Structure 1
């Protein structure tokens, strides 16, 4: 009985020793790949900084041109309300036809046309038609600018109407009004760099979680060493698992550099939840995505094909999983399709831990879904690997 136990223990020790040796080998091979390591370092440092610091989706300093045919106190007051941070008055036009010409040339996004007798019509309580030309070449920014401009004009019109009917001097308590009291949670300053830097970090984790294991396996195929490994005492699992483990360790290290070297000191991104939980679930996501990398490696012959396959698979994941556009704004069939993407659940988990401080009691369903998908994808990749080299 003791001898059988000793044999079982020795087998376990040998299995783990082989795993450690193969993991060390794959780490050394990756570190010797200077171009890939350079791309990795750039993606988790400078790229995160540039994206978080330079990519802004909110409206800021939209150029406004004004044609003021009235030149009254009311028109000047209205123009004065178009100020920073949303608008920037680029100047006044001499002719109303200049508005189209300047929009065609670019540089300004809006043209406000104030007609003659603007002040007189307001004082008399008569309707006034203002013209607002908006360049919607960049549709989200253009529509946002039009919305802010419409809000400014409506507020100005409301105040002018109150003044006209003689309610300006009345106590505010005598006027019926709706008070809108809103509270901003988790990001009180509405700092967009927090969201953009975290989102870009998730993009890089996704790309390299698929690219690195696939590149490691294809590198073995290019050099002809994968056949040598298969005729060795190693099992297919002992060949593939060290590659996934090694690349997971590298990605976790790169994530730590991005988080503690760029996002925390430069952008002030908070870490409100458990950092251990974040890295544990990041490792789970990397393993889940690595299954797709293993599958990609079985249908490609060189590293150039791996890069193209990674782009083909990862690009739809990044666009449709909710990083760029809210998942709720997509068609129903896209939402159902993205239920098969581990990234969909990892986005909610990462933002929840870092920005909201939530834990497993909140997103345990997402963790189970990601783990189930990860096991299925990795199992499918292993099946393809065994079938190819059987």
Structure 2
């Protein structure tokens, strides 16, 4: 007994304040613990993989607003050169090759969904056009596909008008105008919605999953009682917080990078114009900021159900007012200033779009990075105060 006591006494005497190296070691070991906890949760892993792969592709390609590959039927009751010229002008990729049908086939084929548009050219159409008599072309539209029907009808009307104008002028080109207006679309020449939607979805998933993973990790430890094990260890509250923020942010950052490269760039075909390393650096800052938000929400809830009910409205408001779905300029001025002051998401959306779409460098986006860092410092201070009070009771 005396030997045991004599050996225990020096250990107590060796107790000393933790150094910076000790803090780093504690954070490292806590990060490893958090990564093992994430690996042991297959449901969460499946959610992360699905959100950055199938979900990104589905949102990008499943909600296409531009008109393409539209099915068109032609009821040609004139049989003239002009009517054939109109039919030949409807080409891919906007329109499928037109199908010649009769007037009696219009309702059955549109009821079955085989045709989105039907163009009816009346008898003596070319003769009326040559004689400058009043005539018309009827376009039947299946408006159940609202986006395609609206845009497609506009394209169809423009194509028919251009062919009639060419026919009247007797030239291949339309009549000369005093001003030649040329529109060139930068960064997305074909105006593909999928390119924009895919990158926007990756940005939204970073926000949502970082908050969910970080907050869920804290709630799970409180529900399972493992947080009490941490209280008896020689660690401090900031070490636990930083470890959770880094571990969960690292998982999301790796998933987002792989999603950009393999899903957005290779699968969907969207180009990445800027530096991927610069985006990763900015995304790392943002992930730490929203991880602090997740911990703060985790300290306000005691169960996973409460955390979910609390996180849903916060995430919805954050994403809807971030500028990713609707332009910031469409919001009231006071709301723009408010959102940009209290939320890091508008700054990250602006940063990500500038880097990924326009190829911006650090000299153009440093303000967004600085704004995220400042807001993140405030989030971290509030989250740490809540964490100390709720977990450590101090």
Do these two structures clear the TM 0.5 threshold for a shared fold by scoring above it? yes
How far apart, in 1, do the equivalents of 2:26 and 2:254 lie?
A: 23
Give the equivalent residue in structure 2 for 1:388.
390
Give the equivalent residue in structure 2 for 1:77.
85
Structure 2 gaps, min length 5: 1-14
Task: Pick the aligned partner of 1:365 from 361, 364, 367.
Answer: 367
Q: Would the aligned equivalents of 1:44 and 1:258 in 2 still touch at CA under 8 Å?
A: yes
Q: Deviation at 1:331? A: 6.0
Give the equivalent residue in structure 1 for 2:141.
134
Q: Would the aligned equivalents of 1:210 and 1:289 in 2 still touch at CA under 8 Å?
A: yes
Q: Deviation at 1:65? A: 3.0
Q: Deviations over 1:72-92 (max 9, x none)?
A: 222222122222111225634
Give the equivalent residue in structure 1 for 2:125.
118
Give the equivalent residue in structure 2 for 1:279.
280
Give the equivalent residue in structure 1 for 2:39.
31
Give the equivalent residue in structure 2 for 1:256.
257
Q: Deviation at 1:267? A: 4.6
Q: Deviation at 1:219? A: 0.7
Q: What secondary structure does 1:88 align onto? A: coil
Give the equivalent residue in structure 2 for 1:203.
204
Task: Pick the aligned partner of 2:30 from 7, 17, 22.
Answer: 22
Q: Deviation at 1:123? A: 0.8
Q: Deviation at 1:277? A: 2.0
Give the equivalent residue in structure 1 for 2:318.
317
Q: Deviation at 1:10? A: 5.0
Give the equivalent residue in structure 1 for 2:184.
183
Q: Would the aligned equivalents of 1:125 and 1:161 in 2 still touch at CA under 8 Å?
A: no
Q: Would the aligned equivalents of 1:122 and 1:160 in 2 still touch at CA under 8 Å?
A: no
Taking a change above 3 Å as real, the CA distance of residues 193 and 19 of structure 1, as seen in their structure-2 partners, is same
Q: What secondary structure does 1:62 align onto? A: coil
How far apart, in 1, do the equivalents of 2:252 and 2:140 lie?
A: 48
Q: Deviations over 1:134-176 (max 9, x none)?
A: 334443332211221121122123223323xxxx49xx89955
Q: Deviation at 1:311? A: 3.6
List aligned pairs for 1:276-355, cutoff 5 A.
276-329=277-330, 335=336, 338-339=339-340, 340-355=342-357
Task: Name the Cα RMSD after superposition.
Answer: 3.2
Taking a change above 3 Å as real, the CA distance of residues 177 and 363 of structure 1, as seen in their structure-2 partners, is same
Taking a change above 3 Å as real, the CA distance of residues 82 and 325 of structure 1, as seen in their structure-2 partners, is farther
TM, length-normalised to structure 1: 0.83
Q: Would the aligned equivalents of 1:90 and 1:108 in 2 still touch at CA under 8 Å?
A: no
Taking a change above 3 Å as real, the CA distance of residues 64 and 338 of structure 1, as seen in their structure-2 partners, is farther
Q: Would the aligned equivalents of 1:61 and 1:87 in 2 still touch at CA under 8 Å?
A: yes
Q: Deviation at 1:246? A: 0.8
Aligned length: 377
Q: Would the aligned equivalents of 1:63 and 1:90 in 2 still touch at CA under 8 Å?
A: yes
Q: Would the aligned equivalents of 2:87 and 2:98 in 1 still touch at CA under 8 Å?
A: no
Structure 1 gaps, min length 5: 1-6
How far apart, in 1, do the equivalents of 2:51 and 2:376 lie?
A: 24
List aligned pairs for 1:195-274, cutoff 5 A.
195-230=196-231, 232-267=233-268, 269-274=270-275
How far apart, in 2, do the equivalents of 1:142 and 1:333 lie?
A: 37
Q: Would the aligned equivalents of 1:287 and 1:378 in 2 still touch at CA under 8 Å?
A: no
Q: Would the aligned equivalents of 2:66 and 2:192 in 1 still touch at CA under 8 Å?
A: no
Between stretches 342-351 and 177-186, larger displacement belongs to 177-186
